[in-house]
Amino acid sequence: MSSRNVPQAADARVSVLMVLADSGAGALEAARRALAAPQCSELIVLDNASGDGIAQRLAREHAGDARVRLRELGANLGFGAAMNRGAAVAQGDWLLLLNPDCLLAADTLARLLAAAQDGALVGAVVCDARGRPDAAAWRRAPTLRRVLCMMSGLARFESRWPTLAGVNRRDALPVATVPVEALSGALLLLPRAVFARIGGFDERYFLHFEDLDLCARAHAVAVPLRLAGAVRVLHAKGGSSGGRALFVARHKHRGLLRYLRTHDAAARRWPWRALLPALVWLHFALQAPRLAWRDARARRRSRAGAAGH
């Protein structure tokens, strides 16, 4: 996309897309913050058949704001498929893909737009309440070698042997806007025309790796990817995943396999074509007992909380 065809920050109309899947009450504050940004021309809420009533509560709270649109999808379509439904009806020149647990500051959108003025995909550094950056904010594009180094623990030695580098970067986060190989889908700004040009999200990814796949396809057609290192966004991670850690991990491992087979030729060659699925699912099996225990504990806390009200 030519920079001459990209709407400038002063004229920006941003469609904010937010997917809910039993995401919790934090989504209400995320919506309020997004709507407070002057550049937000609409907020499209995609509800993946949530049972917590937050989507409907959000719609009632903003019933007088014509910018807010709720689309109830009737089933859990997954993150990417829901985002595609929102992008199909969006009217803004830009799309902000926003997790319902990401809280924008008053100037976040303006700063991201300034970093994206030639039609780039731009992300921010998402942080927890203590200001600790999420590992997904500063990472490399996954490759077979990087994934194997990460899973085996060899990536710990990358400072001595750079060829052992994993996906997550270990060097200091930048404080400037820098080119990157991959961005987190927790918060991602891009022109709507670019999203359409690369075909939106691949709906074969239900949860996880759909953002990395989007970045890889954008990179393949020479769309710049940038991290606005000075822009920090509070990310109360995991609102939609409470009590479902095992479910999320299963889809993450499925997404990893699909991503590597799609974007790394080495994963399609012998012997990795045969070995990789076994290694990925072994990695999942080793995690499963701990994740199942975490899910059980989360369900017990939830039942205790409900009984106390």
pLDDT digits (tens, 9 = 90+) for 265-299: 999 999 999 999 999 999 999 999 999 999 999 88
Confidence of residue 9 (pLDDT cuts 50, 70, 90): low
pLDDT in tens, 194-206: 999 999 999 999 9
When comparing pLDDT for 184 and 7, which is higher?
184
Ordered domains of the chain (ranges, CATH): 3-138+173-235 (3.90.550.10), 245-302 (no CATH)
Confidence at residue 217, expressed as pLDDT on a 0 to 100 scale: 98
Q: In whole angstroms, give the CA distance from residue 200 to residue 207.
A: 15
Q: In angstroms, how far is CA 115 from the centroid of its own chain?
A: 19
The overall average pLDDT reported for the chain is: 93
256, 205 Cβ separation under 8 angstroms: no
Collapsing DSSP states into helix, strand and coil, what is residue 70? Answer: strand
Render pLDDT for 32-61 as a digit per residue (tens, 0 to 9). 999 999 999 999 999 999 999 999 999 999
**Does residue 306 surpass a pLDDT of 80?**
no
CA distance 69 to 249: 31
pLDDT at 3 over 50: no
Sign of CA dihedral 137, 139, 140, 143: negative
Are the C-beta atoms of 103 and 128 separated by less than 8 Å? no
User: Is pTM, for the whole model, over 0.85?
Assistant: yes
